[in-house]
Chains A and B, each alone.
Chain A
Amino acid sequence: MSGAAVVMIVAVVLIVLALVYFLVATIVALRQVASGLDQVIAGVGEIVEKSAPVEAVVKSINEELDAGVDLLEGLLVKKAGLSDSMGLIESVYPGAAAAGLRGFPESTEVDAPRIGEVYTKGTLTLARLGREAPIAAASPAGEVLRNIQGGSLAARQLYPSVRHERPENLPKSPVIGRDAPEQYERRDDIGSPRKRLPT
Chain B
Amino acid sequence: MTLWWIGDVVLLVVVLPVVVYLLNGVLQAARSIVPSVNEIAATAAAGSKDLDAAALLLTTEQQVKDTVAGVANYGGSLDVIVDDAEER
Interface residues of A (CB under 8 A from B): 2, 4-5, 7-8, 11-12, 14-15, 18-19, 22-23, 25-26, 29-30, 32-33, 36-37, 39-40, 42-44, 46-47, 50-51, 53-54, 57-58, 60-61, 64-65, 67-68, 71-72, 75, 77-81, 84, 128-129, 145-147, 150-151, 153-154
Contact = CB atoms under 8 A, between A and B. Distances in A.
9 contacts: A19-B19, A36-B40, A37-B37, A47-B51, A50-B55, A54-B57, A61-B57, A64-B61, A71-B71
Nearest to A144: B88
Contact of B8 (A11, A18, A58, A151): A11
B31 A29 contact: yes
Interface of B: 1, 4-5, 7-8, 11-12, 15-16, 19-20, 23-24, 26-27, 30-31, 33-34, 37-38, 40-41, 43-45, 47-48, 51-52, 54-55, 57-58, 60-61, 64-65, 67-68, 71-72, 75, 78-85, 87-88
A75 B79 contact: yes
B71 A40 contact: no
Given A47-B44, A61-B64, A75-B75, A40 B37 contact: yes
Q: Which 10 pairs between the two chains have the least Cβ-Cβ distance?
A: A43-B44, A36-B37, A22-B23, A81-B85, A29-B30, A39-B41, A46-B48, A11-B11, A4-B4, A50-B51
Nearest to A27: B30
A154 B87 contact: yes
A79 B83 contact: yes
Contacts of A15: 11, 15-16, 19
Contact of A51 (B26, B51, B64, B80): B51
A159 B64 CA distance: 36
